[in-house]
Structure 1
Amino acid sequence: METFLQALRSLGPMRLAVMGAVILGLIGFFIFLTTRLTTPQMELLFGELDSSDSARIVGQLESSNTAYELRANGSQVFVPSDKVAQLRLTMAEQGLSGGSIGYEIFDDADALGTTNFLQNISLIRALEGELVRSIKTIESVRAARVHLVLPRRELFSREKQQPRASILVKMRGATRLSNEQVSAVQHLVAAAVPGLIPSRISIVDDKGSLLARGFEDKDSPAAMAAKSEERRRAFENRLARTIEALLEKTVGFGKVRAEVTADMDFDLISTNEETFSPDGQVVRSTQSVEEQSQSRDAEANQPVSVATNLPDANLGGGEGGASSSTSENRTEETVNYEISKKVISHVRDAGIVKRLSVAVLVDGILSTSEEGETTYEDRSKKDMQFFGTLVRAAIGFDGDRGDSVDIINMRFEAQDMELDEALELFFGLDKNDMLRMAEILVLSIVAILVILLVVRPLVSRAFEAIPSGLGALGAEARLLAEGAAPALAAPGAPGEIPEAEMEKFEEMIDIERIEGRVKASSVKRVGEIVEKHPAEALAIVRTWMYQES
């Protein structure tokens, strides 16, 4: 104990303060490490909550003595991962679904004490909640809000107001709703609400962009103009996405940006054309008429009698005088000709492209050297020419109508994109699992470094804090182990150790520390040396005995 205290005194106050601070830091670090490793992993129970829902869920967790954490300004509630499934079932049983309220609002409602107005409000809330749940099932939608306007027709009113709806969607990360998805959401809501049509539904995203515009009359000029604008924008976006998808296969994901401007004609033109060809006449019909007539006249001096009026009265030998006869033939033919004609009815649909202007921005080449330095390099002119050829072929380039394509190579600025919290990573692990593993790995590395760089040197110095006088004994023991006999000095010889120094040397020897540090192999080696050199060993022992006496 005295040796330890003497070693502490020899360190000085500064070293003692540093050692104390290091020890306290180590104790605090290991306490933090133990607490962190023993703390249960927290997992998201419900997210995107408003204040009222979050307060009710927290109250239920506190009543059941369940540990929880509030994050994102109270909109997210985290609980231990091993209790997530059970707590969700419990919350659902009590009507705390952590989101919109659906038709379960009528489960515990008192129908006798509820007015008609409250019933209508509850019906609208339930319908909005069910629509929100349906919209959130779309993969790229994180959250949604639906507002329904269902006018009530008053008694004796002549005009009926039509229902309307507005929808706000929050997307996951940088994703966007496509035109097909926007139309699908409109038809989904319209089919669920009686009397609602898709043209009366407006959709807005979380960035304030108008995805769909609602109109009272879909055939009004404003509605037609908005529809034409949406068609033009959809056409431009489709061409831009086609260009980006084509070039990203070569330059890499996120290294291409394309913008397309289309000049389109939305006039509906109907043309009827009728052409006659005089050289192409054909016989349509032919009508022939043939007439033949004969007449005979008798002389006027023939007396009129009964005999002359009898049939065949003039056949009896030509009696009665002379007569005259007349014969007439007429042939008539009518031919109708039809001239060939060609009738063309041409209807040009709205949305004809008159001109295209395309701008493409391509990132350069980033390369990393062996030293870890990142260098930027512009793309070659040959590559840019290839990109131009691909873009022109993809958009249906037509120089006669004045299309233009500009491709520029510039360096992109790195941007951090928001990642989805539920995005699955490698081996089926989500983001929280990966962060937990990274945290444990970092803490383990820090603990190992502390042990190797702090604890081990302190322990080594503590064991090596042996008085310097033992160096002579250690040197002598090493000489014995190496087989070299030390020179023996007589009691009065010059090499004799003075008595005062010998007493100081004896006080500094700690037998227990020596025994703890001497190896068994060294002891065996000393025994072998004594057996080989008994005379020298006997002389050393006699010297020790002489010094003690």
Structure 2
Amino acid sequence: MNELQTVPTTAAPGWRQRLDGLMSGLGKAAPAAGAGLRGALPLLGLAAVVTALVLMLLWRDQAGYKPVFGHQERVPTADVLSVLDAEHIPYRLHPDSGQVLVAESQLGKARMLLAAKGVVAKLPAGLELMDRNDPLGVSQFVQDIRFRRGLEGELAQSMMALDAVESARVHLSIARSSSFVLNDGQKSSASVVVTLKPGRSLSHEQIAAAINLVAGSVANLEPSRVSLVDQQGSLLSSRVDLSEGFDGTAQGNEAQKRVQDEVRRNVHELLAPVLGEQNYRLSVTAEVNNDRVQETREQYGDAPKVTNEATREEQDRERIALGIPGSLSNRPAAALASAAASASQVGPDDTAGNGNSNVARKNASTRQYAYDRSITQVRKSRGRLERLSVAVLLNTAAAPGGAKTWSPEDVAKVERLLNDGLGMDKTRGDKLTVSSLAFPGAPAVEPWYQQRDTLVDVGGWAAGAVAALLGYLLIARPLLRMGQHALGMGPAKARADRRNADDRRTDPGQGPEITPLQPLGSSGGSPAPVGVGGPSAEAPALGHAPATGRSSPVMPLLENYELPPPGSPVDVLVDHLKVLAAKEPERVAEVVKQWVQKKNGRSE
């Protein structure tokens, strides 16, 4: 039997023995501390609640502070702090940016006071730099630099007037004017850096406006020599083409999107009221030419036309025969007869009008011919529509008259309607296709318990609940019990202490005899009924050692196990031992030891 008594103590590992000894020592040394801790638990809970409230208020107070000025605004911080101190307005300094923060409720008041005191954000200096009274001897170089800085400040202020721009900086490189004309002379240029507001961006029109604003403010500055950069390092000026003006609708794919959106809107207005939005599908493809073309045409007519005509006629009458006298001049009578015959052939009008048969005539005519010529100059802008393809698919369920499908006549009507409504041009190569197919029906709505989202949500909540329950059963509850036993705060221990105190008051010389199988409150006979006798209905008390000094004390059990009455069959005791071995394996040895001692008459 001695071997059976020592088996449980020798079988336990060394670390478990040390742990049990430490726990028993703590349980003996800290009953008073445990009682004090139980009394202080409400105070500890109240302190935890107050601490949480204070932290919440501090966090809310910290979140309610807003900066007086923006991060990019240049403000003398010393002047701001002096004004806030004088007005007794609480403030804080941001640890990273150094901005002055005030409570959100006093933000407007602080800004009004700072503005009244003259403490405002300093904008980039403009042309007011030229208002300074410079002493004599200031060079022209200093004046030029000051003018350039003032112009840069004015342009920066103009840039900041844009809604999406928070701050801007402008750098100008102005070419010097010269009296000489140089082919490769220097040209002016400009660079602009803008800081955009969070979540904002500049459209193509705004980029072109900013570039033209800078180019128009500097003499001989071309828009192509202006660079616009944002705070991310993106070259915004490369997104627009200002070589021949700006057309926002022709930049990039804007023209194509505009045409396609217009066609979709027209088809929607035609078909949606009749068929419904879900009974047709539409696909639009537009080919847009973004090339800028300038043409000059010169055309001539088919036949020439007289543009200028001049006619000249000369007549010389009564011409005297002159010449050198000789044989020809002294002709015979035959020559005179021939002359008379020729004179007789002249008409009466000539004879009467001229009065002389000796007349000399000379005619000259000049005409100038030219062809008809027409000169035509054509400038084609970007974004020209070259070809349009439209495909429309109709739902057979929406056929007119409740028919099962669309008839060819109905499809042809819809096609003619769209052809005229969209302005399709066959010479341009436009195509329009109208077909009918059966659309799939709307999917049946699954019950809420079959929906994937519901299953995921419920599964997540269920997993969280299971994890919380396992955490309580496997971690929190054992730790709580270990802490209670370490501090002597176990319920069985407390009841046993109260019972021992009552027994010592009634019979100081002898304590009650309690066996491991005997429920608390029974005196060795039958167990007390449940619910009668106060403590007897509670968990069994195993915390008292037998009267003999040879046996080790039995540690109280953590569970309220109902022990079998004395004299129970062996199978009942074995079942109870199995339960104890599963719940409290480290105490089974002590229970078996108590039973063996009682069996051999060693128990008092």
TM-score normalised per structure 1: 0.41
Rg comparison, structure with higher value: 2
Return the structure number with greater strand share. 1
TM-score normalised per structure 2: 0.38
